[in-house]
């Protein structure tokens, strides 16, 4: 688990193809690595990866075909900057929100504009994720915990303050940039719980009939 508060910016040192998937060698930058051991989890652009080797510069992690297909890690090359966060402990301040490091989909930047001293970004997500994103709710973008300003269909916008622009890779976003999206854990599991017994049946999902039986006005 993570908090969505990026602890350092790293950089890909090497991308190594191994048997069809990939091993990334990552320079950890200012990430404090003395407490990291082999097998520990580190979020790289919001994707939970396992450290399989450690050295003075950073660590290496294997990226499965599943992760390559579902995240922007497929786009990383030597020199690419990345957001890094070590997994939280019971003594870690929860300054962001609970983040699993399990990316739901790839989103796209559709707008970037200055808003006072901050920046306003709008992102489009796949239609299937729109129901999980709510105004003033939480969303994780490339491992950064952010508050949703507003939602319009499958497009939502967030405000990025100067510190976040400097401390993360967001300053490099342009219209058309792809980003990793993880929706709020509570929203994801609440939908599954509402399904009740229907969740065990193929194709079982939230329907108007199901909501009506549970007292929701449809």
- In order of their start, the domains of the chain are 8-86 (2.40.30.20), 105-183 (2.40.30.20)
Residue holding tokens 């006072």? 116
* Exposed e or buried b per residue across 127-164, where buried means at least 16 C-beta atoms within 10 angstroms of its C-beta: eebbebbeeebbbbbbbbbbebeebeebbbbbebeeeb
CA neighbours within 13 Å on the CB side: how many for 6? 29
Of 164, 158, 98, give the one whose Cα is nearest residue 124.
Answer: 158
9, 168 in Cβ contact below 8 A? Answer: yes
Per-residue pLDDT tens digits for 126-176: 999 999 999 999 999 999 999 999 999 999 999 999 999 999 999 999 999
Residue 190's pLDDT is: 81
- Tell me which residues of the chain have a pLDDT lower than 50: none
**What pTM was estimated for this model as a whole?**
0.88
């Amino acid at each position: 688990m993570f908090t969505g508060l990026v602890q350092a910016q790293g950089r890909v040192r090497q991308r190594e193809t191994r048997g069809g998937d990939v091993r990334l060698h990552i320079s950890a930058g200012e990430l404090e690595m003395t407490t990291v051991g082999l097998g520990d989890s580190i979020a790289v652009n919001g994707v939970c990866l396992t450290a399989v080797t450690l050295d003075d510069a950073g660590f290496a992690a294997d990226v499965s075909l599943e992760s390559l297909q579902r995240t922007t890690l497929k786009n990383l090359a030597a020199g690419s900057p990345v957001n890094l966060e070590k997994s939280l402990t019971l003594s870690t301040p929860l300054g962001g929100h609970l983040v699993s490091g399990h990316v739901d989909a790839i989103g796209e930047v559709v707008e970037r504009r200055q808003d006072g001293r901050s920046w306003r970004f709008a992102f489009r997500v796949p239609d299937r994720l729109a129901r999980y994103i709510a105004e003033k709710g939480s969303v994780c973008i490339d491992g950064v915990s952010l508050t949703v300003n507003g939602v319009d269909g499958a497009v939502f916008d967030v405000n990025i303050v100067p510190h976040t622009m400097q401390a993360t890779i967001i300053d490099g976003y342009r219209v058309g940039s792809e980003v990793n999206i993880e929706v709020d854990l509570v929203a994801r599991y609440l939908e599954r719980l509402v399904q009740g017994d229907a969740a065990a049946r193929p194709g079982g999902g939230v329907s108007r009939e199901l909501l009506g039986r549970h007292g929701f006005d449809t």
